[in-house]
Amino acid sequence: MDQTQILTGLTWNDAAYLLPEVTLVAMAILITLLDLAMPNKLSRGFIGWLSLAGVVLSLFFVVLQMLQMNPPDGSAGTDVVRLLGDSYRVDDLANILKITLLTATALIILMGIQSIKRDDAITDKGEVYTLLLPAVAGALMLASTADLVTLYVGLELLSISTYVLAGIRKRSVKSSEAAFKYIVLGGISSAFILFGMSYIYGVTGTTNFGGIGAALGPALADYEALIYLGFFFIIGGFAIKIAAAPFHAWAPDVYQGAPVPVTAFLAVVSKGAALAALLRLLFTTVLFQTAMFTGQGTSQFGPDMLFALKALAASAMIVGTTAALRQRNLKRLLALSGVANAGYLLVPIAVGMTPLHTSNISEFAFYFIAYVFMNIGAFAVLSVVGRSAGHDELKGYAGLYYRAPWTAAAMVILLLSLAGLPVSGGFFGKLFILLGAAGREDYWLAAIMIVTSVISYYFYFSIIRQMFLRTGDTGEPIRMPFSAGLTLWICAAATLALGLFPNPLMSWIQDIVSLPADLFILQ
C-alpha cells in the first residue's frame, strides 16, 4: 500500500486509538517547555509528579480500549483495530502488555521521585522525565507493532532515549562509562536487527508481519540461506537488547553506572518491550513454518529457529545464574538475575505451539507481570539502602532487619519471588512456564529451569542472610521516603497476591487473548 494512502486512511476515530502514545509524547513536550521556562534555582520535583500523571492518563486510555474490546456485561466488543495499513494493531495482547509496561513505568517514577531529587550527580533533573516518557511511548509501539518499520521506529525511540538516560549522572564517571558501553552495544544491536530485516524484506517483498508469514513458505524454496541469515541477525540483535547471554556483557556495567530508576526501567520496561516485539514477530512468521501449521516433512526452518531460541534461553539461564554467584554488588547481581530471567521469559516463545499447548501467551504474560513487581520492589529497596550506605555492595544490607524491619520483611517477599519459591508470583510464573516446556517434551529445557532456579537460591538467600544474621557498621534506622515505601509495598503486596491467587489472572489472560485475532495465526 502506498504510504500516502496509509496516512490518508487514518481517520479521527482511528487516531483516537493512539491516545496512549500521543498522551506520553504531548506530556514530554509540555515538561520540556516547563523545564526550559523555569529558573535553574527552582526545584523540579513537581515535574516528576506531572510525568507520573501523564503515565497514569495514558494507562487510563489503554484500560478504556480494553473495556471497549471486552465489555464487562459480556456483550460483543470492538474488533481488533488495524492502523496505518495494518502496521500497527490495537488488540487484547497489545493492551495487556501496555497496561503492564505503563504500570511498571508509573511505579518506577513513583519510586524515583525522591532518589532523583537527592542525586547530586544528576544536574538536569527535569531531563530524566523528558526522556523517560518518549522511551515509554517507544515501548508501547513495540507492544502493538505489526510491521518491521513500526518495530524499528519504536525500538529506536526506546533505545535512543535510554542511551541518554544511562549517562544522565553527568558528574559520575561510572555513568559516563555506562552510557558509552550502552550506546556502542545498542548501536550494534540495532544494526544487526536492521540488517536482518533487509534480508527478510528482500526475499518476501513485504514488511508486514502477516505478509512475511504468508510469503515465507514459497520463499524458503529459493532463498532458504538468506532467510536463515536474516532471522539469525534479528534474534541476535534482540538478544543484545534483552541482555540474554552470551550477548549480556554490557548489562552489569550499565546497570551499575545508571541511576537506580533508570536501571529499573532498563531491567523491566526496556527488556519487556523488546521481548513483546520478538514474540509478535516470531509467532506471526516463524510459527507458520512449524508442524502445527504445515504438517511433517516440510522445511526445518521453523523448528531450527525455535531451537536457536531454546539454546539462547538455556544459555541466558545458565550464564546469568552462575555469574551472579560471585557478585557482591547488588546492582550487578540484579543485572545478572535479569539475564537469567530473560532466559525464563524466552522459553514460552521458544517452545512453540501444538494443538495441545497453546497457552504460551498467558505463560509469558503472567511471568512478565510477576517479574515487573518483584524487580521494581527490589530496586526500590536498593535506592534507599544504597543511598544510606553510600554504595551498592551487599554488605550495606547487613543488619537491615534491625534498622528497617518492615523494609526487610518486604524485601524477603520479593527475594522469595525472584528465587521462585512458594507462595509468590515468581513461583507460579516459573511453574507455568516449566509445565509448558514439559508439555512440549522439551525436558532438557525444563531441567535447566529447575537447576538454575535452585542455584539462584544461594545468592538470593545471601541477601536475606545479610539482612537478618549480620551486624551493620551503624545501628541508625533507615528512613524510607513515602514514594519509595509506597512503591515497595505495592510491589510486595502484588507479588504475594499473585502467589496466593494465580488462577484469576492466568484465566483472564487466556480468556481475552485470541490467538487468531491477535497474532494473525488464522488470517
CA separation for the pair 183, 164 (Å, rounded): 9
- DSSP line for 433-463: HHHHHHHTT-HHHHHHHHHHHHHHHHHHHHH
Question: Looking at residue 424, what DSSP letter applies?
Answer: S
Report helix, strand or coil for 404.
coil
> How confident is the model over 472-511, as pLDDT tens digits?
666 678 888 899 999 999 999 999 999 999 999 999 999 8
Where helices occur in 70-147 by DSSP H, the ranges are 92-118, 125-144
Host H or E run for residue 160: helix 148-166
Report helix, strand or coil for 267.
helix
Report helix, strand or coil for 145.
strand
64 Ramachandran zone, left/alpha/beta (phi>0; psi -120 to 50): alpha
CB 92 within 8 A of CB 78: no
Name the packing angle between helices 271-284 and 360-389 (round to 10°).
160
CB 467 within 8 A of CB 350: no
Q: Where are the beta strands (DSSP E) in 53-126?
A: 81-83, 88-90
Report helix, strand or coil for 147.
strand
pLDDT for position 296: 53
- DSSP line for 178-201: HHHHHHHHHHHHHHHHHHHHHHHH
Host H or E run for residue 508: helix 502-512
Is the link from the previous residue into 63 a cis peptide, with omega within 30 of 0? no
- DSSP line for 315-374: HHHHHHHHHHTT--BHHHHHHHHHHHHHHHHHHHHHT--BTTB--HHHHHHHHHHHHHHH
Q: Determine how many CB atoms are found less than 10 A away from the CB of residue 121.
A: 13
Report helix, strand or coil for 205.
coil
Cell of 441: 517434551
Q: What is the pTM of this model?
A: 0.94
CB 271 within 8 A of CB 375: no
Is the link from the previous residue into 423 a cis peptide, with omega within 30 of 0? yes
**pLDDT less than 50: residues of the chain:** 1-5, 7, 297, 522-523
Cell of 419: 528465587
CB 136 within 8 A of CB 101: yes
CB 189 within 8 A of CB 249: no
CA separation for the pair 500, 451 (Å, rounded): 24
